[in-house]
Structure 1
């Protein structure tokens, strides 16, 4: 028996269809000579520190840095049953076919299951990035030896263990140091998470530090025959300009306007070209999250959850975590059925889906640009639209519209470029006149869509009749003072977009090139950080930790986020580490480096950072509640097995035992006990104080001379019992 192990159930079903069909069993398909089973993503997870040693369950600076080489894995709790089915089938098999996704994570995902099961069977590699049956059949006919891909698996594993060790050690070290300074909560450090925080902090500070200055635009109003239109002055050598090439001298700008105003004008050139514009490509997850944020205010994790429901619950869309916007050429044949399914499901799209022409083959159908997955598109399944949630309806409509657009004609227009001259100064304007709306009809109400926006200086006036050599007049000219503006604060949409091209913020040229090289051949990624499947979770964590907040439509850093950012080393604040890891993972893939060497080198860096934190602490400024006994910061602590808190002194290790109850997140100040003028300590003669005991309603008496005198007395009906005194028996 040959056992196929697919990454996900839908891929397993596609393989079954490619093999000619089979019968469904419990956790697998029986296809005669072959069985086909599946994973649910990663079936195994790395052990946590406390799995290696229970003492690591409690955060302690003395235990850092934590390292475990070799590392171990355990079955994920929610996937144990399916993993047991796979391992049982492996015992019956004579050979295995690895059908993980064709990328490094897909390679590791099945390889680690085979390693966990101590599988020594021969293994073939099946590479499928499209579940279309013709593609699956071709892939089945061209399987390769799985050993060829061992480097991919090793690189993914090295990255996984590296992220775990980096996150655990750095987060614990910084959190413990911050707690000692009175900070409440966790300071979470991650290879991807922290550079994302850095992007927002630096953008906020750049915005706040901006000093406005001015530049100048000169616009002339020209008349040629019956046509009147504006045109912008074209800068020449010798003009005083700022760093962006804009006129910077008001007198110079005004002089140009004064010279041109009222002067005769000559039309130097007029050229019209027929242009066409392709429809926007189908969505990948990041682009979908960006549009959902722009249009509906959805957070990235919310959009991903909605797509998960559309895919798994309703079967209405294809794989939802794709980083690709293209489709395979084989999928073009599915168009009639998919368009019919859209028309049947979404009433508002019925007419435009029916008007679509399935014979049109847009640039989206390009197999060479499909990565591990193709773009997110509707399936041939249908549903009662009224039964979908509001979010599901909105996201389905976006995905369906983008698909329909592939089968509408290109947007066609005439582009006319005009150059005119007045008083030796040259002005230019461009006009765009639509000749065929095409797919743009589907997007006519989509405000703010970057796929639809042209240059802000383009006009819609028809200038196609103008000819070079025509004479006219410059009827007016104005020098407008423009105020420089900082780059705007992030919105969720612009932050997500920046994560795909974060290399532009790397200061080291070599590292910047490495990060760009990482995404070579990927459409929509130009030196990015994180993955479409993880970015939303990371951003959500930054919000949960209180590092980021929403201010209107903007994403801003909080005071806590900024304080934390300032304590971190540059290597953590910038995406440089991802670039360095990419370089090392390439070496692992090629066999020039192994995963253990990579982790050992990483641990040297982590160890140095932890040692620095131990020795110097971190410079985080925290508004804290001082201990009334010793002055050190108080810390809010959760009571064991209860959803209640109390406050304890961070000087506990130094001997301070002060504690206070919690009320609404603040320590309740303890009232100084009254010292009795009647009841005196029999040991030193100082007044006694009546104090509450640990049991409700119980009291005891202690000497006000504590800690010099540690005499205590039981309480009897509000009076000290002098017959039963104790030494050091406080808080009875």
Structure 2
């Protein structure tokens, strides 16, 4: 009997699958057992070929060669990936390997990772698909016991391929057109540009806003306050206008007392986007950080279900697992014990809806009890959010009694609103409140008014959570890609974080004026995203989609070519290059800012500001600065002026990596879900190196 070749997305996942399936023989680049061989990708090992790989005329960045529309895209290995590709190729060709299993992430990008690899190594054997929603031992075993036919996911692969080719066509062509035309690194794309425009649109609302002063009349009675009911709350522009009205209000009477009980069930479960919004609102986490944390909970700790989901519902088959999931969280949430004693009674039946579960169900805890000592503080917070939302399935409804009292002073009306908590239910932080003093119909109310000066408030800037909500509303990106899109905009210096808010840079504002309006508004991109979904479900063809994208790309490029718009490079400084005399441009890099020469023939660059290193001063033992001088970088202590030379590679000498540093590095590699280097990233790198 032959063996299965199993391809996981990351080394950590491959290791866990190998352990579960008994593949205990470690061969460095794969694991082997009696029935299986388990190997891995490193995220993407391949990418679409670059323009210069396809056509020698596309090597030079100029407007004449645009638009670039390949007849055939083709794929090529990413840097440093050939070793692992060769391993997979040799394994695929082994005579004892009779079939392959795709065990990468069960989503669009995971499908692309594996399909490209098996296409590149020319796999000639049957293909199966592992499709699971959690990484627990039980889920993995059940998944391998019920493997799917790999060809059942052909449409998903076609959708992933279409997304990749569309980003190549729009991103590389428009980016190259803008970069060449305006001689600056200007990055545009079919999703990132309308996303940037959303942030700018909110900024424009704030910029147009002019505060207005107005006056508000309130009535005070029985320790409560009610505002005067007005069609236009900003009607009183002066205190005197408000006072004139108050002078006419002599005696009030309660005309109506209404009481109504309201019951509110627990909210739906989290999908990834809502979890990112909540984590941003509560803790200020970026979308990328939340995704990294929940991916770690899924992959490393195995305590939550598949994170990159767009569903807030559960399929009916999950009902049988609820008691085990409750047992797993009872140490964190004591109420889980009481729900178990009640027989795990489901009180939010609407959450179970097969029709609303797409590739994966909502984010919930798995049946595995966490080792809380191994969770970081941030992981603990995210896990707690998911658990608390999950417990809402079993919680009673939140019940309140709302009481409204209407008081009339002639034609003018005031409404007092009170609410009492009758039963906290799933809102456990709210306790039942004491009875309030009621009003009675016909009761006389003595005039007791207050006039307050108010100012209209401007719209708030977009937080990352608010931007995610906007992207979801307009169909921009997917739960799996939205965090990456936001990060790309920041790395491209088109957008920046200001506290927990986002703002468009001067460079970004200009970009939005330089590209075609159809790429700025979300409608066109939302239409493309809908078509990608249709391709995944077999309702639309990739060929028809790419044909439409190609037509749009030609229009977008021609718009840039014919534009008469002016562009100002805000990164230019007044400093001169010491080698050739050209102006220096300031550029952000991962660990600070650098100055680079604008002369394409000159390679001069230096740090714009000193960087704090981890190297300690031999005199005062404080961290030293890395300073750029005539002979290159050197260490300098800002406290006592001590200087030291730097060895090649930027260190004073080779220092062995500590166990902690090694662990952090491996965790980063295992959590890195982005492609190692996208086609657009490579193109921009080439542009910056010109």
Kept in 1: contact 2:514–2:563 (CA 8 A): no
Q: Deviations over 1:120-175 (max 9, x none)?
A: 8888989766889899989999979957x755543442222011221112112212
Is the aligned partner of 1:178 residue 2:182?
Answer: yes
**Offset of residue 534 of structure 1:** 1.5
- Decide whether aligned partners of structure 1 residues 591 and 497 sit closer, same or farther in structure 2, where only a CA change above 3 A counts: closer
The structure-2 alpha-carbon separation of the partners of 1:550 and 1:579, relative to structure 1 and needing over 3 Å to count, comes to: closer
In structure 1, the partner of 2:661 is: none
> Does the 8 Å contact 1:151/1:589 carry over to 2?
yes
* Maintained 8 Å contact 1:195/1:573: yes
**Alpha-carbon contact 1:130-1:374 (below 8 Å) kept:** no
The 1:127/1:304 distance shift into structure 2, 3 A limit, reads: closer
Tell me what 1:366 maps to: 352
Aligned counterparts of 2:376 and 2:537: Cα–Cα separation in 1? 48
8 Å CA contact 1:39–1:82 kept in 2: the answer is: no
2-side partners of 1:104 and 1:543: how far apart?
25
2:599 & 2:171 partners in 1: Cα distance? 27
Give the equivalent residue in structure 2 for 1:266. 254
Structure 1 residue 464: deviation in Å? 8.2
Residue equivalent to 2:190: 191
Q: Deviations over 1:511-539 (max 9, x none)?
A: xxxxxxxxxxxxxxxxx311222211221
Counterpart-to-counterpart distance in 1, 2:462 and 2:310: 22
Residue 622 (structure 1) aligned to one of 550, 553, 569: 569
Does the aligned pair in 1 maintain the 2:196–2:495 contact within 8 Å? yes
Structure 2 partner of 1:550: 497
Aligned residue for 2:85?
80
- Shift in alpha-carbon separation, 1:85–1:335, aligned structure 2, 3 A: farther
Match of 1:598 among 536, 545, 553: 545
CA shift, 1:102, in A, is 8.0
Offset at 1:473?
A: 1.1
- Equivalent in 201, 220, 229 of residue 234 of structure 1: 229
Q: How does 1:303-318 map to 2 (within 5 A)?
A: 303-318=290-305
**Conserved? CA contact 1:410–1:438, under 8 Å:** yes
Which position in structure 2 is the counterpart of 1:351?
Answer: 334
Cα pair 1:159 1:581 within 8 Å, conserved? no
Structure possessing the higher radius of gyration over alpha carbons: 1
Cα distance change on mapping 1:85 and 1:289 into 2, 3 Å: farther
Contact 2:47 2:77 (C-alpha < 8 Å) held by counterparts:
yes
Question: 2:190–2:519: 8 Å Cα contact kept in structure 1?
Answer: yes
8 Å CA contact 1:3–1:97 kept in 2: the answer is yes
8 Å contact from structure 1 (residues 490, 555) kept in 2: yes
- 2:472 is paired with a residue whose SS is coil
1:477 correspondence with 2:477: no
Cα 1:579–1:497 change in 2 (3 A) is closer
**Closer, same or farther: CA 423–6 of 1 in aligned 2, 3 Å:** farther
Aligned to 1:69: 71
Q: CA deviation at 1:268?
A: 2.0
Distance between the aligned counterparts of 2:381 and 2:536, measured in 1? 42
Provide the secondary structure at the position in 1 that maps to 2:358. Answer: coil
- Structure 2: state its 5+ residue gaps: 588-592, 610-690
* Residues 117-516 of structure 1 mapped to structure 2, 5 A cutoff: 146=151, 153-179=157-183, 183=184, 186-214=185-213, 217-222=216-221, 227-235=222-230, 241=232, 247=235, 257-259=246-248, 261-273=249-261, 275-344=262-331, 349=332, 351-357=334-340, 359-363=344-348, 365-368=351-354, 369-441=356-428, 462=435, 465-466=438-439, 469-501=441-473, 503=474
In structure 1, distance between residues paired with 2:604 and 2:118 = 53
Q: Cα distance, 1:286 vs. partner?
A: 2.1
Please report how far the alpha carbon of residue 550 of structure 1 lies from its aligned counterpart in structure 2 after TM superposition: 2.8
- C-alpha displacement of 1:399: 2.4
- Structure 1: runs of 5 or more not aligned: 445-458, 504-527, 653-658, 667-732
TM superposition score normalised by structure 1: 0.66
- Normalising by structure 2, what TM-score? 0.70
- Shift of the 389–589 alpha-carbon distance from structure 1 to 2, 3 Å rule, reads closer
Change (3 A) 1:142 1:436: same
Provide the secondary structure at the position in 2 that maps to 1:164: helix
- SS in structure 1 at match of 2:367: coil
Q: CA RMSD in A?
A: 4.8
Aligned residue among 517, 521, 532 for 1:570? 517
- Look up the SS of the partner of 2:467 in the other structure: helix
